[in-house]
Structure 1
Amino acid sequence: MKNTITNGSTKLILLHPYIQKQANPNRLWLIALVSVFAVASLLTLVYTRESFHTTTTTTHITAALNHQPQTLPKSVMRALVHYAANINSTNHMSQTDIKQISDVLKQCASPCNFLVFGLTPETLLWNALNHYGRTVFIDENRYYAAYMEEKYPEIEAYDVQYTTKISELNELVASVREQSHNECRPVQNLLFSDCKIALNDLPNQLYELDWDVILVDGPRGYWPEGPGTISAIFTAGVLARSKKGGNHKTQVFLHNYNREVERVASEEFLCKENLVKSSKDLLAHFVVERVMEENGTHQFCRNYPPTSS
């Protein structure tokens, strides 16, 4: 409805309040609709930006992880080697020998599987040098192995019972020669071996790994009734020849090569033809190749050395 008011020649048209009331709801709905659309657009924009940021960040992190260095920087490795070689210890390995092993670890494809017989003053060093790989320590002292794992959680150590004696060296070598076609074969799964000097009580998983580097620096062997390293050397020789995949060569280091047990056992099970280098600082380096079991070989070396008297 409208009312007309005449004032001289001017006419004023007044809208009835009822008509104004009819128009307000439509305007409110329109404002509400526009507001909802604006809020929805804002939320969509924020979510899209957050999603893009998250995706970009994840991509950068993944790329960084994929391109992280697989070996320690040379400066760090040199510092570790220098520091370890200068620790005051009568049982410590020389700097020359430490460097020889560290050079091989540096060239090892990552991840590198490194097996060490003996918990020694170099234990932390070996674990650090093989930072991106797996380093496993085997020791005859169960209490010391447990202590090292508790004090240094990053260390993976296992204890093993050795049944050999240094005074029985010649008899042990002779028994292996007699059983080389059976229980003491150079290619076998040691987990199921009944060879007298084989280590068959390690965790099962360790027999399934392809070891790239093996260091024999234990067990102790400086008195007649001590276990000596004959079992460790035999086990290292079999593990190297029984690899299933990966690199077909295993780098085997033997410390205290000047002692009789180490010299005799290495000539029997690691073989002179595999000797790459021996230093005046008591370290011998062998490279032992994988042997396919179907080849039917039943001897460790091409020419057996005579048994030491």
Structure 2
Amino acid sequence: MASPMHARRAKLKSHLVSAKAKLKHHVTPRRVLLLATASTSALVLLLTLRTLSSSAAKHGAGVSSSPAPVVLHRAQQQAPLEECGRLPAPVAGALIHYATANATAPGRTAGEIAAAAGVLARRAPCNLLVFGLGHGAALWAALNHGGRTLFLEENDALIPEFGARHPGLAVEAHHVAYLTSVADADELLALRDSPDCTAAAAATDSTHHWLTPGHFDRSACRLAVRGLPPAFYEEEWDVIMVDAPTEEPGMMGAIYTAAIAARARASEPDESGGDTTDVLVHDVDQPVEDRFSTAFLCGGYLKEEVGKLRHFAIPSHREGMPFCP
């Protein structure tokens, strides 16, 4: 007959076997994962509460029952109010325009666009003068956001089309006329030393400090662009981009006018470009643009050449108008 001690041991052994079976049945990999996740979350919550409690004690404040206001306050400190504003209309318009276009600027490489953008990034917001209403016009205006961008176009039919696509920029697009012809390039290049074409200094005075309104219409130089709007004479231009016309009547007049405007600006230094004017000329792979940009903007002022783009930095010549030193 089994003793009472043996009976109790047998009963305990039976309970242990039963408990082991139940534990094996209930402990599944999924339940272990859930248990671990819950434990981790509890630990993170505990550490967060301890951090907030320590921070509050350090500043002499009690622990808040809700940390949400603290988080919002920090977010407001880190995010300036202007970051929540609307995208500027010219920038938004440019994004939409180029997102739906086949190309940003046909005939322009990524390197050429980047070089021009780099000049604008250094000077903007600034006074930007653009000869031509090409496909990249909206891009230049967007990169000069906050500054003034004036467009001069020889083909008057392009102006209403440009205005329909970019109504916010249409007010700064103006029609101008050229008296030049590519066929006369050699004859026009010889005007570099003509007194009629170098006398722009006489058009400035101590009170105006800039070209007098209507100067180019009165000029006897055949290279002068005609019909420049009053807006042209309202500003001294920090950056001038010669992007057209590429065929007849050629870029000769635009290059010449850019050269005079750059040399006639006031000599007072500014923070971004000193007393210089940055002039960008496209299509310098063409013989006319190559020769005229070198002659009138001066090879000695050439800062950079990327592909078909040349960047000149023209200093003020208030005491005279030589095209090269």
What TM-score bracket applies, with the shorter chain setting the length? Answer: 0.5 to 0.7
After TM superposition, give the deviation of residue 91 of structure 1 in Å. Answer: 3.1
Q: CA deviation at 1:186?
A: 5.4
How far apart are residue 228 of structure 1 and its match? 0.5
Matches of 2:265 and 2:199, distance apart in 1: 14
Counterpart residue number, 1:250: 277
Deviations 1:112-165 (A, max 9, x none): 111111111111111111111111111111111122123311112111111210
* Larger proportion of helix: 2
Equivalent position of 2:109 in the other structure: 94
Q: Secondary structure at the match of 1:198?
A: coil
Amino acid at match of 1:289: P
Question: What SS does structure 1 have at the residue aligned with 2:174?
Answer: strand
Relative to 1, partners in 2 of residues 1:202 and 1:298: Cα closer, same or farther, differing over 3 Å?
closer
1:301 aligns with 2:295: no
- The residue that corresponds to 1:31 in the other structure is none
CA separation in 2, counterparts of 1:89 and 1:274?
A: 29
| Residue in 2 that maps onto 1:166 | 182
Amino acid at match of 1:264: R
Q: How does 1:262-301 map to 2 (within 5 A)?
A: 262-279=289-306, 281-292=307-318, 295=319, 297-301=320-324
Give, in whole Å, the separation in 2 of the partners of 1:232 and 1:68.
Answer: 41
Rounded Cα–Cα distance in structure 1 between residues aligned with 2:179 and 2:226: 12
Question: How far off its partner does 1:262 sit?
Answer: 0.7
Other structure's SS at 2:157 match: helix
Q: Quick check: 1:162–1:231 contact (8 Å CA) kept in 2?
A: yes
Counterparts in 2 of 1:289 and 1:209: CA distance versus 1, 3 Å: same
Q: Does residue 1:175 correspond to 2:191, yes or no?
A: yes
What is the Cα deviation at residue 64 of structure 1? 6.2
Distance in 1 between residues matched to 2:298 and 2:197, nearest whole Å:
20
Report Cα offsets for 1:38-93 as digits up to 9, x if no partner.
xxxxxxxxxxxxxxxxxxxxxxxxx968x999x99xxx99x96xx68x94478331
CA contact 1:274–1:288 (8 Å) conserved in 2:
yes
Q: Deviations over 1:164-217 (max 9, x none)?
A: 1011011112234223xx453353433442211111411123123111111111
- Name the structure where strand makes up a greater proportion of residues: 1
Indicate the residue corresponding to 2:156 in structure 1: 142
Inter-partner Cα distance in structure 1 for 2:176 and 2:243: 14
User: For 1:213-252, what aligned pairs fall within 5 Å after superposition?
Assistant: 213-221=239-247, 226-244=248-266, 246=270, 247-252=274-279
Q: Is the 8 A contact 2:296 2:323 kept in 1?
A: yes
Q: For 1:122 and 1:109, how far apart are their aligned partners in 2?
A: 17
* Structure 2 CA distance for aligned equivalents of residues 251 and 298 of structure 1: 17
Q: Which runs of 5+ in 1 are unaligned?
A: 1-62, 303-309
Distance 1:138 1:201, change over 3 A: same
Aligned residue type for 1:242:
A
* Alignment partner, residue 138 of structure 2: 124
Three-state SS of the structure 1 residue aligned to 2:199 is coil
The corresponding residue for 2:118 is: 103
Identity %: 34
Q: Is the 8 A contact 2:239 2:278 kept in 1?
A: yes
- Residue identity opposite 1:119 in structure 2: L
The 2-side partners of 1:164 and 1:123 are apart by 23
Instruction: Give the equivalent residue in structure 2 for 1:202.
Output: 228
Indicate the RMSD between aligned Cα atoms, in angstroms.
Answer: 3.0
Instruction: Provide closer, same or farther for how the CA distance between residues 209 and 162 of structure 1 changes in structure 2, counting only shifts above 3 A.
Output: same
In structure 2, stretches of 5+ residues that fail to align are 1-79, 204-210
CA distance in 1, matches of 2:157, 2:286: 27
Q: Distance in 1 between matches of 2:174 and 2:133?
A: 10
Q: Is the 8 A contact 2:124 2:147 kept in 1?
A: no
User: In 2, distance between residues paired with 1:240 and 1:275?
Assistant: 14
Please say if residues 113 and 211 of structure 1, whose CA atoms lie closer than 8 Å, have aligned partners that are also in contact. yes
Q: Give, as a single letter, the amino acid of the residue that structure 1 aligns with 2:177.
A: Q
Q: 1:68 to 1:269 in 2, by over 3 A?
A: farther
Output the CA distance in 1 between the equivalents of 2:246 and 2:249: 7
Contact 2:236 2:265 survives alignment (8 Å):
yes
Matched, 1:154 2:168: yes
